[in-house]
């Protein structure tokens, strides 16, 4: 593997400190490197591979679409985007959809839609956006502008203006940032990259009310916490709060690069021809993936599995937290959970990889548990056993 790793380090930009393994193929909950070593996967391509690797029905549907039609252009109609949009609308309660190639692009679109809505409403540009500290919304200039981690933003300034950051789970902080120009509040119902912090019910409901009272749009970034990951199709549904715009990606295509933003009818109609576009976004191949994911989620009742396995994982992680004093907190919901440590988690993750378990951090001190949504009890048990072994190496 070393040869490939050395070569890759010469030709790929050094934007990641990659783990020193070269992956070859996957099956279900497992990944295999090119030397044949097997890894139990609790990363799922960062909350992407909800169905695990090489899910037959998904692969068959895409092979068929590959031989039918991959791409046309959004200037024509085709059936897969229509089917995918109908399913996303049904699952989210939104009214209209725009498909993108990534999560970041979905966030870009949501920002533009909110600003256009404000422009139509007030007759002027300059709509301001309130985002949350420690949030993550993506790496492009717009999405980066509203990402609440200063170190990601600093070198790339000036970014887009009119952005204010409020403290997550602090309603008074959101309130203090509202002014006459505020057009939208954006937040993740459960912060993912920032360290697995769920919004409190009081906060999320309070933000909805603040937005209603002040005629401000509420955008939920469901890119990581959506698509069934927390036990409801979208995380906001478990809070009983409805946004005006949602962004979605990661699990939406289960491996095919696709994202979406969706909005209520009134908000979506702020966009007119020419306001937004994409060459690839929502092409027949990508949207066939989306459609198939929704079909499989429904036919296998995947949400039920997320709820049952989420509780079981929660139980196991609580046990570990009680046993090891270096674990200082356990947060999250469904199959989006995290353990916070008093020490950096890098070495624990490296030990796990040696032992055949893939894990990922969320910041320096948090380990994220985001397995494919098809995870079974035996996988959670195996993970716990290996993980315990790794913890014993560092305490
Ligand atoms: C991953 C992520 C993004 C960015 O999505 P990409 O597909 O990497 O562009 C945006 N928001 C949240 C909450 C994410 O987890």
Residues 30 and 51 in one domain: yes
Please state the rounded mean pLDDT for residues 246-269.
98
Q: Which two tokens stand for residue 122?
A: 């007030």
Tell how far CA 173 is from the center of its chain. Answer: 25
What is the CA(381)–ligand 1 centre distance, in A? 29
pLDDT in tens, 80-101: 999 999 999 999 999 999 999 9
Q: DSSP strand E in the chain: where? A: 23-27, 30-33, 38-41, 96-100, 128-132, 163-166, 182-187, 190-191, 197-198, 217-221, 245-248, 259-263, 327-333, 336-341, 357-358, 360-361, 366-369
Domain at 288, CATH number? 3.40.640.10
Other CB atoms within 10 A of residue 277 CB: 13
pLDDT in tens, 131-145: 999 999 999 999 999
Residues 252 and 175 in one domain: yes
Reference 40, options 382, 349, 390; nearest CA is 382
Residue 180 pLDDT: 96
pLDDT in tens, 193-217: 999 999 999 999 999 999 999 999 9
What is the CA(223)–ligand 1 centre distance, in A? 6
Residues 321 and 189 in one domain: no
Residues 14 and 133 in one domain: no
Residue 382 pLDDT: 98
Reference 43, options 29, 59, 58; nearest CA is 29
What rounded mean pLDDT belongs to the chain? 97
Residues 239 and 148 in one domain: yes
| pLDDT band at residue 50 under the 50/70/90 scheme | very high
Please state the rounded mean pLDDT for residues 27-36.
98
Residue whose CB lies within 8 A of the most ligand 1 atoms, among 250, 261, 280, 290, for a mutation test? 250
**Considering the chain, what percentage of its residues have pLDDT values greater than 90?**
100
- Residue whose Cα lies nearest atom 5 of ligand 1: it is 103
pLDDT in tens, 291-315: 999 999 999 999 999 999 999 999 9
Residue 54 pLDDT: 97
Cα 151 from Cα 130, distance rounded (Å): 19
Residues 194 and 330 in one domain: no
Question: What angle (nearest 5°) sits at the alpha carbon of residue 360, between those of residues 358 and 361?
Answer: 150
Contact 23, 31 (CB under 8 A): yes
Residue 60 pLDDT: 98
Residue 235 pLDDT: 98
Contact 65, 285 (CB under 8 A): yes
Give the nearest ligand 1 atom to 143 CA: 10
> Phi and psi of 133, rounded to 5°?
-60, 145
Residue 293 pLDDT: 98
Residues 218 and 236 in one domain: yes
| pLDDT band at residue 106 under the 50/70/90 scheme | very high
Residues 214 and 317 in one domain: no
* Domain housing 288: 57-300
- Eight-class DSSP state of 256: S
Cα 237 from Cα 93, distance rounded (Å): 9
Residue 309 pLDDT: 98
Residues 39 and 79 in one domain: no
Query: β-strand 128-132 against 163-166: which pairing, if any?
Result: parallel
> Domain end: 279, 300, 321, which one?
300
Which residues sit with their C-beta closer than 6 Å to ligand 1? Answer: 102-104, 107, 136-138, 188, 192-193, 221, 223-224, 249-250
Cα separation values, 98 from 9, 29, 204, 283, 394, Å: 36, 31, 25, 11, 47
Residues 23 and 66 in one domain: no
Cα 258 from Cα 252, distance rounded (Å): 7
Domain at 341, CATH number? 3.90.1150.10
Residues 66 and 189 in one domain: yes
Please state the rounded mean pLDDT for residues 273-292.
98
Domain count, the chain: 2
> Domain end: 300, 322, 347, which one?
300
> Domain end: 282, 300, 318, which one?
300
Residues 152 and 174 in one domain: yes
Tell how far CA 357 is from the center of its chain. Answer: 22
């Amino acid at each position: 593997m070393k040869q490939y790793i050395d070569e890759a380090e010469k030709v790929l930009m050094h934007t990641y400190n990659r783990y020193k393994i070269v992956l070859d193929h996957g099956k279900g909950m497992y990944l295999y490197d090119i030397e044949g070593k097997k890894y139990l996967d609790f990363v799922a391509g960062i909350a992407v591979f909800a169905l695990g690797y090489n899910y037959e029905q998904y692969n068959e549907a895409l092979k068929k679409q590959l031989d039918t039609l991959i791409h046309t252009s959004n200037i024509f109609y085709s059936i897969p985007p229509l089917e995918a949009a109908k399913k996303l609308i049904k699952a989210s309660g939104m009214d209209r959809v725009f498909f993108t190639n990534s999560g970041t692009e979905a966030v870009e679109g949501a920002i533009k839609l909110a600003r256009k809505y404000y422009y139509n409403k007030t007759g002027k540009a300059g709509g301001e956006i309130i985002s949350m500290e420690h949030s993550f919304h993506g790496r492009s200039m717009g999405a980066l502008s509203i990402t609440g981690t200063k170190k990601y933003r600093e070198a790339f300034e000036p970014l887009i203006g009119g952005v204010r950051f409020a403290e997550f789970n602090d309603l008074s902080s959101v309130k203090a940032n509202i002014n006459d120009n505020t057009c939208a509040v954006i937040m993740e119902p459960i912060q993912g990259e920032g360290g697995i912090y769920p919004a409190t019910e009081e906060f999320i409901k309070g933000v909805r009310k603040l937005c209603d009272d002040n005629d401000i749009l509420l955008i939920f970034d469901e890119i990581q916490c959506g698509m069934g990951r927390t036990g409801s199709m979208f995380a906001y549904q478990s809070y009983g709060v409805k946004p005006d715009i949602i962004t979605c990606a990661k699990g939406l295509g289960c491996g095919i690069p696709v994202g979406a933003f969706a909005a209520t009818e009134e908000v979506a109609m702020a966009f007119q021809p020419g306001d937004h576009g994409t060459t690839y976004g929502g092409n027949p191949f990508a949207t066939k993936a989306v459609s198939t994911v929704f079909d499989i989620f429904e036919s296998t009742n995947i949400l039920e599995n997320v709820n049952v396995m989420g509780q079981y994982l929660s139980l196991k992680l609580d046990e570990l937290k009680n046993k090891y004093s270096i674990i200082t907190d356990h947060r999250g919901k469904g199959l989006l959970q995290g353990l916070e440590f008093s020490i950096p988690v890098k070495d624990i993750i490296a030990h796990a990889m040696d032992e055949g378990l893939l894990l990922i951090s969320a910041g320096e001190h948090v380990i994220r548990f985001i397995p494919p949504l098809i995870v079974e009890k035996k996988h959670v048990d195996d993970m716990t056993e290996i993980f315990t072994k790794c913890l014993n190496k560092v305490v």
